[in-house]
A and B are shown apart, each in its own frame.
Chain A
Amino acid sequence: MEHPVTLATLLDIPEAYHHVFYTWCAMAALFVASLVLRRRMQLVPEGLQNFVEIVIGGLEDFTVATIGEKGRKIFPLLCGIFIFILVQNLLGLLPFFDAPTANINTNAAMALFVFIYYNYVGLRSWGPRYIKHFTGPMPMLVPLMLPIELVSHCARPLSLTLRLFGNIRGEEIVLLLFFSMAPVWSTLPSYFLFLLAKCLQAFIFYMLTMIYLQGALEHAH
């Protein structure tokens, strides 16, 4: 089920690249917002700057409280993930737009990046001793724990991808169904619920990334 009228169909973009187009839309919105903010940076924040400072400051406090001082170094990535996914999700609620995260390819790309990045952080901070994160607590149990840990680590990008995809895609389908039954007014109540759900999904992606990075950074036990 596709949106009846969207910007991508109006611009005659091939169906397979719709999510790429909307990802670029989200990036453009973020670029414009940050350029405007940078031009009018004030010591006493107002309006949009105030809002962004609250979001980023709150997330930074939360990250540092969970990971510790090491968290400040990897915080830009975490915050970028949160804001990028949030904008992508909310794009689905705008008329003429579709959420790029409702396509599984966008999510798989982000989840694979997270998977590679947290393993890279673990390898960089532990070196060859990073293998201890996979061997479990006792030397006796290594042959049993090693495949279990490997499978559970490989399952992480899969669950990240599927969770975001399923939630956002499901919401889009529900909105479309409501819209086809009774246009406009029947979708309004679900807008509020989905606003919350979309923020929550972005937060969950951010928090899981943070938990994986914390697991890679802290001592194995």
Chain B
Amino acid sequence: MGLAKFFNITDRNYLDNLSLAGTIGLHMVSSVAVGVALGYGLDFWLETYPWCSGIFMLIGIAAGFKNVYVDAKKLAARQEQENKGKGDAQE
């Protein structure tokens, strides 16, 4: 299984980290999209054009950053656990 070894897919920790890291980008973008869509819908309904869009866009951006922060924290925790496991194995 040269290919499996090349892509390192037999290592489960590596696979977890890879999939978690791959999700971060879209988490950030989709929050902003949802925020803008919500704001635009509210504006369409209440006829207050710039206000809700702007406010919800800011909320969306904040939510995107919060998502990335949570993901990064999760990745860091997993890395720490992994290092700890390696250290235990070496001792």
Q: List residues of B whose CB falls within 8 A of some A CB.
A: 3, 7, 9, 12, 15-16, 18-20, 22-23, 26-27, 29-31, 33-35, 38, 56, 59-60, 62-64, 66-67, 74
Chain B interface mostly helix, strand, loop or mixed? helix
Find out whether the CB atom of B67 lies under 8 angstroms from the CB atom of A155: yes
- Say yes or no: A149-B15 contact (C-beta < 8 A), given A154-B38, A155-B27, A162-B26: no
- Say yes or no: A155-B22 contact (C-beta < 8 A), given A192-B3, A196-B7: no
Q: Which of A148, A163, A196 contacts B63 (CB 8 A)?
A: A148
Output the least CB separation between A180 and chain B (Å).
26
CA distance A54 to B22 in the complex (A): 25
Find out whether the CB atom of A203 lies under 8 angstroms from the CB atom of B19: yes
Find out whether the CB atom of B38 lies under 8 angstroms from the CB atom of A151: yes
**Is A33 among interface residues, defined by CB-CB distance under 8 A?**
no
Find out whether the CB atom of B31 lies under 8 angstroms from the CB atom of A155: yes
- B62: chain A residues at CB < 8 Å are 148
Q: List residues of A whose CB falls within 8 A of some B CB.
A: 62, 147-149, 151-152, 154-156, 158-159, 162-163, 192, 196, 200, 203-204, 207-208, 211
CA distance A48 to B19 in the complex (A): 27
Output the least CB separation between A198 and chain B (Å).
13
- B31: chain A residues at CB < 8 Å are 151-152, 155
